[in-house]
A and B are shown apart, each in its own frame.
Chain A
Amino acid sequence: MSEDLEFAFALVLNGASIGLMYSLIALGFVLVYKATDAINFAQGEFVMLAGLIVAVVLGFEGAPLVAAIAIVVIVMVGFGFGLERVVLRPLLGRPVVAVIMATIGLAAMLRGLGPVIFGSETRAVSLPIGDEPIVLGPASLPPIQVLGAVVAVLLFLAFSWFFKKSRMGVAMRAVADNQQVAQAMGINVERYFALAWAMAGVVSALGGVVWGSMLGVDVHLALVGLKVFPVVILGGLDSIGGALVGGLIIGIVESLAAGYLDPYVGGGTKDFAPYVLMILVLMVRPYGIFGKRKIERV
Chain B
Amino acid sequence: MFHREAGIFKTTYAADAALYPLPIAKWTIAALALIFVVLIPLTVHEYYLSILNLIFIAIVGALGLNILVGYTGQISIGHAAFMSVGAYTAANLAVKLGLPFWITLPAGGLMAAAIGVVVGMPSLRIKGLYLAIATLAGQLIIEWTINRVPAISGGAQASIEVDRPSLFGFSFNTQGSLYFFLLFFAVLAIVATLNLARSRIGRAFVAVRDQDIAAEIIGINIYRYKLLAFAISSFYAGVCGVLYTYYFGIANYEQFQLIVSIDYLAMIIIGGLGSVLGSIFGAIFVTLLPIVIRLFMEDVGSLFFTQAEMANVISGLRLGVFGGLIIFFLIVEPEGLNRLWRNVRSYFRVWPFSY
Residues on A facing B (Cβ under 8 Å): 39, 41, 87, 90-91, 94-98, 100-102, 104-116, 119-120, 226, 229, 233, 237, 265-266, 268, 271-272, 275-276, 278-279, 282-283, 286, 295-298
Is A298's CB under 8 angstroms from B75's CB? no
Distance, CA A85 to CA B7, complexed state (A): 50
Distance, CA A266 to CA B313, complexed state (A): 34
Residues in chain B near residue A226, CB distance under 8 A? 136, 140
Residues in chain B near residue A41, CB distance under 8 A? 132
Distance, CA A96 to CA B334, complexed state (A): 14
Nearest chain-B residue to A100 (Cβ)? B132
Is B73's CB under 8 angstroms from A104's CB? no
Nearest chain-A residue to B132 (Cβ)? A100
A-B interface pairs (CB < 8 A), number: 149
Nearest chain-A residue to B121 (Cβ)? A283
Known A-B contacts A95-B73, A104-B262; A112 and B316 likewise in contact (beta carbons under 8 Å): yes
Chain B residues bordering chain A, tally (CB within 8 A): 50
With a 10 A CB-CB cut-off, give which of A95, A108, A271, A286 has the most chain B CB atoms: A108
Q: Check if B340 is an interface residue, CB within 8 A of chain A.
A: no
Residues in chain A near residue B309, CB distance under 8 A? 119-120
Which of B43-51, B79-87, B321-329 lies at the interface? B321-329
Can you list, as one digit per residue, whether each of B64-98 has a CB less than 8 Å from chain A (1) or not (0)? 00000100010101000000000000000000000
Is A108's CB under 8 angstroms from B144's CB? no
- Smallest CB separation, A35 vs chain B (Å): 15
Q: Check if B26 is an interface residue, CB within 8 A of chain A.
A: no
Q: Which of B125, B313, B330 contacts A101 (CB 8 A)?
A: B330
Nearest chain-B residue to A297 (Cβ)? B125
10 CB < 8 A contacts A-B: A87-B327, A95-B73, A100-B128, A102-B327, A112-B316, A233-B130, A233-B133, A279-B122, A298-B222, A298-B226
Residues in chain A near residue B158, CB distance under 8 A? none
- Smallest CB separation, B84 vs chain A (Å): 16
Distance, CA A111 to CA B317, complexed state (A): 10
Q: Check if B269 is an interface residue, CB within 8 A of chain A.
A: yes
Is B133's CB under 8 angstroms from A115's CB? no
Residues in chain A near residue B128, CB distance under 8 A? 39, 95-97, 100, 296
Is B326's CB under 8 angstroms from A104's CB? yes
Q: Which of A105, A268, A279 contacts B147 (CB 8 A)?
A: A268
Q: Check if B319 is an interface residue, CB within 8 A of chain A.
A: yes
Residues in chain A near residue B265, CB distance under 8 A? 101, 104
Distance, CA A297 to CA B140, complexed state (A): 26
Distance, CA A286 to CA B126, complexed state (A): 8
Question: Which 8 residue pairs spanning A and B have beta carbons closest together?
Answer: A109-B323, A112-B319, A105-B326, A112-B320, A108-B323, A113-B320, A96-B128, A116-B316
Q: Which of A96, A98, A112, A229 contacts B321 (CB 8 A)?
A: A112
Residues in chain A near residue B123, CB distance under 8 A? 298
Q: Check if B318 is an interface residue, CB within 8 A of chain A.
A: yes
Is A108's CB under 8 angstroms from B141's CB? no
Known A-B contacts A98-B330, A109-B323, A278-B137; A266 and B126 likewise in contact (beta carbons under 8 Å): no
